[in-house]
């Protein structure tokens, strides 16, 4: 029996991350190889032509799972009936700008998008905020969409989580799929704390602690942490553009695990609404280790 299509909104869809993300969604990377999707793509009026070009490419790629594309600059049209919203659009921080300048611009963007989602999205819509500052933007969205349950709004720290897995895998020369249970605590910014104290690597079907295998606390407590914290800046320096491919991939991982569940014994990092766990003040959006089942996340205690 064929499944009904899921409507997935991507804001800022004509941008770099959007361009990397929409084909992944259309190919089934986000929701599974048997789940049809209808893509809703939103961008600002100056990007309308570019957005239409992305739509043309999606048609040309002939993705079997893609059952429709809505490409629009109208926020109400974009948000109508969506089951999942990936908020990639935001005002980018430019040279010489302080974080607070970016926040002021983003408040107005997130206010209008939050209101549209609240009024027009499908019931139980899941929202993932990717645009920086992600934790703050997620909180703004929560404030202006009070009827969306707080458990349905999250911020992306999976990119940092995946970066941490990648660093451990390279250091130990093991498959990245054999590394699990790193944790990103805090904010998706250079103040986050990547934690390997509970992380393990599967070595001939036995999970062994990362600390024991690396056997170099000096590296784990210093260089490893700063590499993960500063990775985004290192990529901008190398590419002259921000990390789009890895961010898009992490957004797919985040939603896939949220919707389809995490494997037994494995946890992932998500920026979620704090319930006071680990003495993090309730009501903040903060990255915790979580497990997911039946579309619900739970903080690992």
Residues 87 and 209 in one domain: no
Does 82 fall in a domain?
A: yes
Residue 132 marked ligand-binding: yes
Is the residue at 192 inside a domain?
A: yes
The pLDDT tens digits of the residues spanning 23-54 come to 999 999 999 999 999 999 999 999 999 999 99
CATH number of the domain encompassing residue 215: 3.90.110.10
Contacts by residues 190-199 (CB-CB < 8 Å, ≥ 24 positions apart): 190/229, 190/230, 190/233, 191/229, 192/157, 192/160, 192/228, 192/229, 192/287, 193/225, 194/160, 194/163, 194/164, 194/224, 194/225, 194/228, 194/229, 196/164, 196/168, 196/220, 196/224, 198/289, 199/164, 199/168
Residue 13 assigned to a binding site:
yes
Please identify, among 155, 177, 209, the residue that sits at the C-terminal boundary of a domain: 155
Residue 206 shares a structural domain with residue 87 = no
12 labeled part of a ligand binding site: yes
Q: Are 233 and 219 in the same domain?
A: yes
* pLDDT at 98 exceeding the cut of 80: no
Same domain, 112 and 171: no
Enzyme catalytic residues: 188
Mean pLDDT of the 77-87 span: 98
pLDDT in tens, 105-126: 888 889 999 999 999 999 999 9
183 and 64, same structural domain? Answer: no
Q: What was the pLDDT predicted at 103?
A: 79
| Residue 16 is labelled as binding a ligand | yes
User: Average pLDDT of 240-261?
Assistant: 95
Residue 83 lies in a domain: yes
pLDDT given at position 96: 66
Q: Tell me, yes or no, whether 117 and 209 share the same domain.
A: no
93 annotated ligand binder: yes
Nearest to 22 by CA among 70, 68, 54: 54
DSSP 131-182: SSSHHHHHHHHHHH-TTS-GGGEEE--HHHHHHHHHHHHHHHT--GGGEE--
Number of domains in the chain: 2
Do 93 and 26 lie in one domain? The reply is yes
Say whether both 93 and 175 belong to one domain: no
CATH of the domain at 147: 3.40.50.720
Residues 128 and 142 in one domain: yes
> Does 1 map to a domain?
no
Q: What pLDDT, on the 0 to 100 scale, is given for residue 94?
A: 65
Q: How confident is the model at residue 190 (pLDDT cuts 50, 70, 90)?
A: confident
Per the structure, the complete domain to which residue 254 belongs is given by: 157-299
201 labelled binding-site residue? no
| Domain final residue, candidates 129, 155, 181 | 155
């Amino acid at each position: 029996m064929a499944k009904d299509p899921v409507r997935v909104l991507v804001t800022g869809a004509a941008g770099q991350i959007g361009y990397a993300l929409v084909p992944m969604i259309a190919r089934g990377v986000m929701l599974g190889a048997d789940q049809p999707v209808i893509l809703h793509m939103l961008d600002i009026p100056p990007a309308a032509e570019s957005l239409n070009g992305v739509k043309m490419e999606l048609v040309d790629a002939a993705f079997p799972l893609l059952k429709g594309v809505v490409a629009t600059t109208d926020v109400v049209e974009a948000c109508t009936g969506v089951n999942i919203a990936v908020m990639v659009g935001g005002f980018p921080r430019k040279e010489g700008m302080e974080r607070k300048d970016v926040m002021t611009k983003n408040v107005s963007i997130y206010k209008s998008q939050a209101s549209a989602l609240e009024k027009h999205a499908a019931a139980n819509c899941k929202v993932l905020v990717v645009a920086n500052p992600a934790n703050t933007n997620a909180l703004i969205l929560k404030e202006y969409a009070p009827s969306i349950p707080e458990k349905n709004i999250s911020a992306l720290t999976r990119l940092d989580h995946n970066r941490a897995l990648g660093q451990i895998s390279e250091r130990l020369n093991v498959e990245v799929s054999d590394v699990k249970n790193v944790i990103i605590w805090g904010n998706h910014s250079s103040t986050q704390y990547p934690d390997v104290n509970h992380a393990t690597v599967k070595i001939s079907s036995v999970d062994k602690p990362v600390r024991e295998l690396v056997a170099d606390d000096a590296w784990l407590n210093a260089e490893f942490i700063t590499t993960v914290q500063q990775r985004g800046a290192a990529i901008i320096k190398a590419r002259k553009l921000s990390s789009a491919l890895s961010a898009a991939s992490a957004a797919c991982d985040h939603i896939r695990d949220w919707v389809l569940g995490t494997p037994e014994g494995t946890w992932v990092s998500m920026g979620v609404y704090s319930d006071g766990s680990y003495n993090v003040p309730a009501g903040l959006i903060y990255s915790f280790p979580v497990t997911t089942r039946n579309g619900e996340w739970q903080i690992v205690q």
